[in-house]
Structure 1
Amino acid sequence: MALGLPVRGKAAISEWETETHVPTFENLILWAGKVERRLVIEDRRGELQSLVRPRAGESWVPFERRRLACPLRRRRDDLGLSILEVSKRVGVHRDSVGRWEYALVPPRPIALVVWAQALGCSLGLREVAEPNSPLSTSNGRQIRDAVANARRSAEGMRSAGRA
């Protein structure tokens, strides 16, 4: 599992399990791609759709951060909550929530979970190409290609580290 991920190898995965090391948001995004899944924001009715599309030349991780932030920002707006109100629910400064909403800075994974819960949502995993998913479209092929490219890049970084 650790192959192709920006971690120190099998030891890092066991460190996640024993909580001696906390994975980053990037680690979770790459891990999900490695097992042909994607992180999603969902509520009791299912996945909240993101209107975000990959930008020209944008790599996988920044795109995923934007894709996950979009439904949370929309949910906050739909609930009529201010960034300050959400930040109090999450227990962080309002600037943090603002940066997360615009994918300027990634939240820690636990903060992402708490942020979603503060808005009545949760973080889930879905197959990369479920039927009727945005990833089953031609745009989805671009995204799946981006996952494959991210894996190759990670493998290249891992190989370079051994040289």
Structure 2
Amino acid sequence: MKQTPDFDRIQENMRAGSITGPGFLGDDERNLLDIISEDESKVKELGLTNEIIADKLEMLMKQGGKGFGSPVRVDDRFVVIVEESRGYIPCPFRHGHLSKKVNVNVRNIALKEEIDYSPISIHLIREHGFYQGKGSTYRLDPEMVAKILELI
């Protein structure tokens, strides 16, 4: 898919060392629109929406935040640890959104699988349909996330 110059600039912002040390793309060489399009297709195939996934991630983050860095059991199905850092991360789509620097770890007790994400991950999924590039530290593969969060 042909990408606009504006999306080229946004993709440059996502590279390692621009906004964050590791960036948002990992080792994914595809253009930004192709990354988003592929994940969008997978989300639809699963019968979900970006909002459903983002809402569940946000709910778990809020519940886990009650532990102030200690593990919190949520619905007897998840263990959540929320660790806050100083500062904010701007949205690479350049529209002024700032997210707190926070790491969220969610472990599905039954599946013995876990994911890590941050508030910017939730924003990127909900507002931009962007789950980050393959190889990115905070890449959330839609199918894997849906299984771990018990959405499918």
Q: Same fold (TM over 0.5)?
A: no
TM-score by length of 1: 0.30
TM-score by length of 2: 0.32
State the structure with bigger RCO (CA 8 A, min sep 6), 1 or 2. Answer: 1
- Structure number having the greater helix percentage: 1
- Structure number having the greater strand percentage: 2
